[in-house]
Structure 1
Amino acid sequence: MEGPDAPLVLVTGFGPYPKVRVNPTATLARAVAGSPRLRRLGLSARAHVFETSYAAAGAQAPGVIAAAAPVACLHLGLAPRERMLRVETRGENRTRALSPDVRGNRPALRALRPGSPAALRSAAPLGAILAALRRAGLKARLSNDAGAYLCNAMYFWSLDEARASGARRPVVFVHLPRPAPAPGTLPRRRRKTVRPTDAELTAALVDIAIALARAGRR
């Protein structure tokens, strides 16, 4: 049963951003946090959905992490053009002013956190996570580039929080494809897709949360 000392995983997603009116990472983060399977294993998770803006997410991230005091962090981002899951291996301390955030702003500084390392690698069990996803029948790969948007920023902020506090907290960022439409929502000729469903993604992300919780409490 879940108790006050149950290992807690912080699971985050993002809200809408330009050209994405509904961000599935928000729903998926909440689904993972509410998983009965976690509770049966004596684990727990908390979901937080960040506004997709540099100002809001950058200001809120330290407080959200500190308040949760998690043993591990699982961050989710949407990669709309992908057809597989990308398990990111590192976050970079840099911005590229390519796309505006949901407020229409671009980052003003080249570094996300001046004075912090140029890049930080995840200490999470990435190989085991990748293997578990593939055993579940999902297409997945490791990636060395978390992109040039809020996804990379969130990953670096979280990794840097763990580094600065001395926490031995495994942190991982997973880029997700758009989930497949529910059966019956599209004409028959358009139903064929290789994208995973919401249920498949939720189950896979719960597996990742379990692996992270176990790694974080060792």
Structure 2
Amino acid sequence: MKILISGFEAFGGSTINPTEKLVKVISSETFAGVELKTVLLPVNYDECAEAIIKEIEVYQPDAVISCGLYHGRTSVTPERIAVNVKDTAADAPYADNKGVKPTDEPINPDGPDALFTQLPVRKMVNRLNEEGVPAYISNTAGTFICNNTMYGVLDYIRKNNISTIAGFVHFPASTEMAVENPLLPALPHETMLRALRIIIQTTIDDLQN
């Protein structure tokens, strides 16, 4: 079994993105019977999805788990759905890392309005809560880069009718980020790393059943 995990570079004026550190650490860990590959994505509209799709084409994973930062959330939140829109104004006060700020633009003009995750998000959340990690299923991935990535990957799978399953998980800011902004909700890195391990293992278990 092969699983691809992605994270993002820093954005929005910050020098930290906790998912960058998460994928770096998880890349050296092992899961029984699984080949794990990680990739760090750019925070640029469309390029984010293009970069991970290239990895999918070469690696041909059984599952893709994309990870991103959502400022202000207090829990780990597997996403239920991605919408076919790019709209920075509705989601964040900053542009992507190339200064792009689209408004009300479709990701794929010919694509469906929305696409649902293929990951076992309910099982993930149940297991995370059982293990003492705050988590819930989110019904909005926003309209910024994370949603763009999730929709782009799911749309690629749909158009090419491949068996890979995919979805997206948002993580809160890290405690390290809260040092820069003490009012920012945050979780410790170790808690989020434990959450990612649980998310990966839940996906493995679901694929094996």
Tell me if both proteins adopt one fold, taking TM over 0.5 as the criterion.
yes
Unaligned runs of 5+ in 2: none
**Equivalent in 140, 145, 148 of residue 143 of structure 2:** 148
User: What's the secondary structure of 2:153's corresponding residue?
Assistant: helix
Q: How many residues align?
A: 202
CA contact (8 A) 1:179 1:196 kept: yes
- Of structures 1 and 2, the larger Rg is shown by 1
CA contact (8 A) 1:84 1:140 kept: yes
State the shift of 1:168 in Å. 2.9
State the shift of 1:135 in Å. 1.1
1:118 and 2:113 matched: yes
Cα distance in structure 1, aligned partners of 2:2 and 2:44: 26
1:19 and 2:10 matched: no
CA contact (8 A) 2:7 2:66 kept: yes
Residue equivalent to 1:4: none
Unaligned runs of 5+ in 1: 1-6
State the shift of 1:163 in Å. 1.3
User: What's the secondary structure of 2:67's corresponding residue?
Assistant: strand
1:66 and 2:35 matched: no
Which amino acid is 1:163 matched to?
Answer: R
Which amino acid is 2:9 matched to?
Answer: G
Percent identical among aligned pairs is 21
Identify which range, 131-140 or 168-177, moves more after superposition: 168-177
CA contact (8 A) 1:71 1:217 kept: no
CA contact (8 A) 2:87 2:103 kept: no
User: What's the secondary structure of 2:164's corresponding residue?
Assistant: coil
CA contact (8 A) 1:138 1:196 kept: no
State the shift of 1:106 in Å. 2.1
State the shift of 1:181 in Å. 4.1
Which amino acid is 1:97 matched to?
Answer: T
Residue equivalent to 1:127: 122
Which amino acid is 2:144 matched to?
Answer: Y
User: What's the secondary structure of 2:24's corresponding residue?
Assistant: helix
What is the Cα-based RMSD across aligned positions, in Å? Answer: 2.3
State the shift of 1:108 in Å. 7.3
Matches within 5 A, 1:155-166: 155-166=150-161
